[in-house]
Structure 1
C-alpha cells in the first residue's frame, strides 16, 4: 500500500566546496599521488614571476595563493582525493582563459580545469601541483530565446540556477542531477553528465546546440550555434562533450531547453529482484509511454550508504532494490489515471512490493537524492 512521503527535507544539492567544514580542523585525505602511486610528469614548476603574470591578467583578488584558501580546491567532494596545487585562478572571460592557457602552455605549466567540484571520481582536483582554473566567476546567462528554447550561458553557471531561470519562461533544463545546486554546466558538458532526465531528453550530445572552448595553447574554438537543425560541416562541438578537458576547456554553452511539464509525479518503490527491476522498466515503457520521463534503480547497499553519509531518512523499509519513476505531461488527470493504473497492475503482479508517490516539488527533490 502506498504511503504519503513524510521526510525531513534536506537539499544536499546546496553543497559548496568553499564553505564546507574547515579543513584545518579535519583529517585531510591522503595525497592522491601517494594513494595511487602516480609519478609527476615533466611539466614546469610555478614560481613568483608566474604568479605576478597571472595577477596582471586577472587582478590580485582572482589569483588565490594562500594555503588555507587553496586547500578546498585541492580536495574532492567526498574527501577521497587531494592534490597539491599552490594557486587557484578565477577568470571572468574567455579572453582571460585564453591568455592564461597560452602562458601556461609556453611555460609547460600543468592546469586542472574545475567547475563546481561535485565529481565523485577525483577528476576535478589536481594530483600534483597543477594550477586550478576555476570557472565559478564565469556565471552569466548571455541570452534565451523562449520560442526556440535556445539558452546561451557561460560555463560557470550553476545548473539549478539555470533551471530556475528558464522556468520563468516555461522551459526546463534537459539535465537534472543530485548535485544541481553546485555543479556547473561547463562541467556537465565536459563529462557528458547523464542525470535523471536522460530517458526523456537523451544525453547532452542531443541537447547541446553549440559551445565555445579554449584549447591548451589558448586558441579559442567558436562552435557557439543556436540552431537545432544544423546540418552544416563537421560538428566539432561533439568532440568536447565528454572530453573532460583533455581537448580544451569549455567556456560557453548553447543548450536546447524543452517546455516545462505541467503535471509531474515521482514514485519511489521497493523491489525484490533485479529481474523485477528489468520487467518493471519494460512495463513502464509500454504502459506509461510518452509521460515516462525517468527510471532509475539502486540496490540496497547504495541506498544505505546514501542514507548514512547524507543523513537522510529512507521513506521505505529495507528492500534488495529500489526504483525511482518520474512521469511528466500536460494533463494531470490523464497522467494520474495512467500512473495509478500502471502501479496497481505492478503491485498485483508483485514487481512492486511497497512504495510512495508524490507530486509535491519539495518531496520530489528529496526522493531524487536517493538515485
Structure 2
C-alpha cells in the first residue's frame, strides 16, 4: 500500500509539514542533513504519489503533486526540493523507458527506492554541456565523470543524469545505484541557502550501468528533458517557492502575535493592532495567496497536457503559465522572506530564530532556472504566438 487509504496524500503532507517544521531552523544552522525526516517521508508512502496505479502507485495528478509539495516545503523546503528529483525520475522513465523497464522499476519507486539526481556539471560552457561519458561494456555501459548540484544525493538510492557516449556527441540518460561500486558522494554543498539538500558533488569511476537504464536522451540539447518530465521539474520547484513563502508568512504572524513589541510612535495597544504591521502582513498574504493560486492553475494546465499527449499548443501554454507561476512564487517567497523582518522588528534577526533562511532558500533556488527567461517566454508567446522550447528547463 503506497498511500495510506484512510487519508489523502495532501493530508499526509500536511501532517509531515508540522513534523518537519520543528527543528528546521536548527538543521539549517548546523547544515544537518534531515535523515530522520527523509525516513518519515519515505514511510509516509508519498514516494509513490506519481507512480501510475498499474505499477502500484497512487497515480497522482500535477494538482495533487503541487499541493503536496507546497505543504512539505512549508515545513522544510529542502525536503520539498529533493522530492522534485524523485518525481522527475519517475516521469522520465514513463516517457522514455520501454514498457518492460517501466514494469520492472516503477513499482520499486513507491517506497523502496528514492530517486536523486546527478544532472549538472561545473566548468562546462552551459548547463547543457556534459563531460561525463559512458562507454559500451557487454550488455551495459561504464560511466565516468563528475557531477555537481546533486540535490538529494544523501537520501537517494538511485541517481539519474545526462552523459555523452564517449567519442561522440550523442547524449544519453543513465540511472545508477548510489551504492554501486565506483560511486562517491561528497557532502560538499556550501551554498548559503537550501543548506541541507546535499546538492554537492557525485563522482562516477567506471560505474557499471545496465543497458536498460541508459537510454537515448529525450532531449538532445538538454539531456533529460521531455515534454512532461520538464513540466514536472518546474511544477515542483514552483511548489517549493510557494511553501517557502507560506512558511515565512506563518513565522511572521506567529512572531508578531507572541514576541513583537510596539514602536513608541504607534497608537495601537498591541503589535497585532498596529496599522503598518497589518498593512505589511496583508501585502505578504496577498503575494503568497496569489502565487499559490497561479501555481495551482499551472498544475491544472500541466494535467491537461498529460491528457493531450502530442498537442504542442496545450503543452506550450502549460509551460508558459508554469514559468509565470515560478516567477510569481519566487518573488513572493523572497518578498515574504524579507518583509517579515520589517513587521517582526529588530529581535527577529537573532540567529536562534533562523528566520533569514526563508529569503536565503528562495534566493538560492531562484538561480537554478533564471526567472528573466520565464517572463521573456511569456512575453514572446503573447507578442509573437511563439511557444517555449521543450527542454529540461521549460
Fold equivalence (TM over 0.5) = no
What TM-score bracket applies, with the shorter chain setting the length? under 0.3
Could you state the TM-score of these two structures normalised by the residue count of structure 2? Answer: 0.23
Greater Rg over alpha carbons, structure: 1
- Name the structure with the higher strand share: 1
